[in-house]
Amino acid sequence: KAGVTQTPRYLIKTRGQQVTLSCSPISGHRSVSWYQQTPGQGLQFLFEYFSETQRNKGNFPGRFSGRQFSNSRSEMNVSTLELGDSALYLCASSLYRDAGMNTEAFFGQGTRLTVV
């Protein structure tokens, strides 16, 4: 069974540009969550999607957005990139929405975004 796949693995962008990251969950999983990991702030929750609907959102500016497709694949977009957006972006999938209640959250290997 394939795991959570995040593409691309590495990305270098210029300040002011926009970027789209992709996450393919484990087959059958319908919940996808996104996290930003930085050395200073640690892991911070961005948003969660379930059945194509955003169910939960973290405390990030509107430049961060996402969506989920009918096949449960998810994308997140960051517009007008800032140097502080440089981070590892992790995606996690789970079978049901309330990951942790009855099911485990499986993480991808992340996308390392560098903004220069």
Cα–Cα dist 101/33, whole Å: 15
Q: Find all residues with CB under 8 Å of 30, minimum gap 6, and list them.
A: 50, 51, 72, 95, 96, 97
Which CB atom, from 18 or from 54, has the smaller least distance to other proteins?
Answer: 54
Q: Note the residues at the interface with other proteins (CB under 8 A).
A: 33, 35, 42-43, 45, 48, 56, 58, 88, 90, 92, 98-101, 104-105, 107-110
**Closer of 15 and 43 to other proteins (Cβ):** 43
DSSP string spanning 59-85?
A: S--TTEEEEE-TTS-EEEEE-S--GGG
CB of 22 to other proteins, least distance (A): 17
Rounded to a whole number of angstroms, the minimum distance from the CB of residue 16 to other proteins is 27
